[in-house]
């Protein structure tokens, strides 16, 4: 889905997005953990996905788009650098 006008019920919306699935998996396993532990888990999951070929650069961009509004400036820049590093895998 590129924009709201092109959204149709049949395309699954965000339900089929691997970035969203990554967020759901990590969130479920990270309740009660520190932000550092959560970030390490996200990076580990993303590295596994990239190496297995199941996580694309577009998925990483979608993940960044979902997470960045919840972060302050420093953490947003850090996440951006991590995403850029993961794209090179």
Which pLDDT belongs to residue 87? 93
Q: Can you spell out the DSSP letters for 1-22?
A: --SSTT--GGG-GGGG-HHHHH
pLDDT along the chain (89 residues), means of 10: 59 63 72 79 86 91 88 90 92
Domain residue extents for the chain:
16-87
Question: Under a CB-based contact definition with an 8 Å cutoff, are residues 74 and 38 in contact?
Answer: no
Which pLDDT belongs to residue 12? 52
Question: Under a CB-based contact definition with an 8 Å cutoff, are residues 45 and 4 in contact?
Answer: no
């Amino acid at each position: 889905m590129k924009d709201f006008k092109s959204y149709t019920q049949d395309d699954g919306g965000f339900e089929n997005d691997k970035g969203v699935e990554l967020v759901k998996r990590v969130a479920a396993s990270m309740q009660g953990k520190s932000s550092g532990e959560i970030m390490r888990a996200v990076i580990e999951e993303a590295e596994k996905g990239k190496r297995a070929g199941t996580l694309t650069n577009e998925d990483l961009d979608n993940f960044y788009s979902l997470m960045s509004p919840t972060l302050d400036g420093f953490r947003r820049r850090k996440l951006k650098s991590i995403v850029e590093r993961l794209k090179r895998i």
